[in-house]
Structure 1
Amino acid sequence: MNLKNKVALVTGGSKGIGFGVAQSLLNQGIHVAITSRSRAAASEAADLLNAKNNTEAKAIGLQSDVRDLESQKNAVNQVLKSFGSLDVVVANAGIGHFASIEDLTSEQWQETIDTNLTGAFYTIKASVDALKASKGYYITISSLAGTNFFANGSAYNASKFGVTGFTQAVMLDLRKYGIKVSTIMPGSVSTHFNGNEPSDSDAWKIQSEDIGELVVDLLKMHPRTLPSKIEVRPTTPPSK
């Protein structure tokens, strides 16, 4: 894919992995729309991305909730109205509630599934026609938690196991249209996820810009080749 002047949509792009991905895409000359449930957060993040950007590409911030299909459709329509096409969709928005099944509430379960799994479904449902037109790329951000289960992770594991399987099935559905589909499964990433405050103690973790570089590498891959599922983990985690 020739990346300059392509157009990308990154859900949950106001911070963390989504912001790192958006920044890497902008650095390649790709126009980027980022979404957040907060209009202010989306706008502030887009302003920051534009301030740091040295290319002619532009970032815009959109208010959208991945748990709502109409909201996702509106976001895609705004991208098409602003840029005329849509070439790359990164379904990144996600949350985590971690507790024993004895303590996990039904509300926490539902929010996790609705955001992480149904959100990925709504994101591709809203954008599939645009990606057919561009022969574009759909990328989900899953997790190593989508293949490795752990205590207190029932909701998160279920959502990410689901995202991993969902993405692989979608890949088989859409490749006949020339659409590439991949899922990235990171291990520990230095972000604000689950109340973490990034600091020097997180230097051993994957950084958000590392995931951004990986997305760019996928986009630059020869059209004949599709890395459909990518596990990525810190090189040297601390000793237990």
Structure 2
Amino acid sequence: MELKGKVALITGGSKGIGLGVAEAMVEHGMHVAVTSREQPAADDAAKKLNERGPGKAIGLAADVRDLVAQERVVKDVIGSFGQLDVVIANAGVGHFASIEDMTAEQWNSVIDTNLTGVFYTAKAALPALKESKGYLITIASLAGTNFFASGSAYNASKFGLVGFSQAVMLDLRQHGIKVTTIMPGSVATYFNGHTPNEADAWKIQPEDMGQMVMDLLKMHPRTLPSKVEVRPTMPPKR
């Protein structure tokens, strides 16, 4: 894919992995729309991205749990940039508790965001991606193959997302659309209320995820890495 001038939509793109990917894209001359549930956060991210350039960025407020909102976002992206070539379905949340303590509201929040939200994002973007023969990348997790105590909601969402992404990959490659799911381990982000700090130096960094996405986009059209697992090289000894 010739990257300069291509257009990407990144859900949950105001910080963490999403922002790291957006930064790599604008540095390569791509135009990017980042979404957040709050407009000020989206605007702040777009401002930082436009200062980084040369690609241009816009910030849009939308909740991935709302299909109509995702359809509006796609329309806004095309209205601003004329096309849509890449979608990064990145928005995600986590609630971690034993099933005894997990509330129905927490369960629904995780499943509706991490799984149904990706379905809505892909569904809304599909007509545009068919036209551009574009690329859909979902951000799953190693928690999509490795279960752990207190992870019932998160594991269910990410196991489901891996299966969803692989099935959609088979559905869409007949249209010339590539689909990849990336399954990272520990990443230094704000996920689950964490604030990145010096102690996170051993973790995957958001800019590493940005580099990985760019490598995928640059790969020859005939080759598709459909599922990518990525881990920190040297985690702390237990």
Give your verdict on TM over 0.5.
Answer: yes
Residue 188 of structure 1 and its aligned partner are, at CA, apart by 0.1
User: 2:63 maps to what in 1?
Assistant: 65
User: 1:2 maps to what in 2?
Assistant: 2
User: Which amino acid counterpart does residue 27 of structure 2 have in structure 1?
Assistant: N
Q: Secondary structure at the match of 2:19?
A: helix
User: 2:15 maps to what in 1?
Assistant: 15
Q: Confirm whether residue 136 of structure 1 aligns to residue 143 of structure 2.
A: no
User: 1:221 maps to what in 2?
Assistant: 219
Q: Give the alignment's TM-score, normalised by structure 2.
A: 0.99
**Contact conserved, 2:37 with 2:62, CA < 8 A, in 1?**
yes
User: 1:160 maps to what in 2?
Assistant: 158
Residue 197 of structure 1 and its aligned partner are, at CA, apart by 1.2
User: 1:89 maps to what in 2?
Assistant: 87
User: 1:48 maps to what in 2?
Assistant: 48
Which residue, 181, 184, 209 being the options, matches 1:183?
181
Q: Secondary structure at the match of 1:123?
A: helix
User: Which amino acid counterpart does residue 73 of structure 1 have in structure 2?
Assistant: E
Cα distance in structure 1, aligned partners of 2:116 and 2:28: 30
Cα distance in structure 2, aligned partners of 1:237 and 1:20: 21
Cα distance in structure 2, aligned partners of 1:208 and 1:239: 23
Residue 52 of structure 1 and its aligned partner are, at CA, apart by 2.3
User: 2:197 maps to what in 1?
Assistant: 199
Q: Secondary structure at the match of 2:170?
A: helix
Further displaced range: 226-235 or 40-49: 40-49
Residue 18 of structure 1 and its aligned partner are, at CA, apart by 0.4
Cα distance in structure 2, aligned partners of 1:138 and 1:33: 14
**Contact conserved, 2:169 with 2:180, CA < 8 A, in 1?**
yes
Residue 51 of structure 1 and its aligned partner are, at CA, apart by 1.4
Counting aligned pairs with the same residue, the percent is 69
Cα distance in structure 1, aligned partners of 2:197 and 2:52: 21
- For residues 100-156 of structure 1, give each alpha carbon's deviation from its aligned partner in whole angstroms, at most 9, with x where no partner exists: 111000000000000000010000000000000000000000000000000000000
Cα distance in structure 1, aligned partners of 2:193 and 2:35: 20
Gaps in structure 2 of 5+ consecutive residues = none
User: 2:29 maps to what in 1?
Assistant: 29
Q: Secondary structure at the match of 2:236?
A: coil
Q: Secondary structure at the match of 1:90?
A: strand
Residue 49 of structure 1 and its aligned partner are, at CA, apart by 1.2
Matched pairs, number = 238
Q: Give the alignment's TM-score, normalised by structure 1.
A: 0.98
Runs of 4+ more than 6 Å apart: none
Task: Give the aligned CA root-mean-square deviation in angstroms.
Answer: 0.5
**Contact conserved, 2:27 with 2:52, CA < 8 A, in 1?**
no
Cα distance in structure 1, aligned partners of 2:12 and 2:225: 23
Cα distance in structure 2, aligned partners of 1:83 and 1:196: 34
**Contact conserved, 2:26 with 2:52, CA < 8 A, in 1?**
no
1:96-115 mapped onto 2 (5 Å cutoff)? 96-115=94-113
Which residue, 118, 121, 124 being the options, matches 2:122?
124
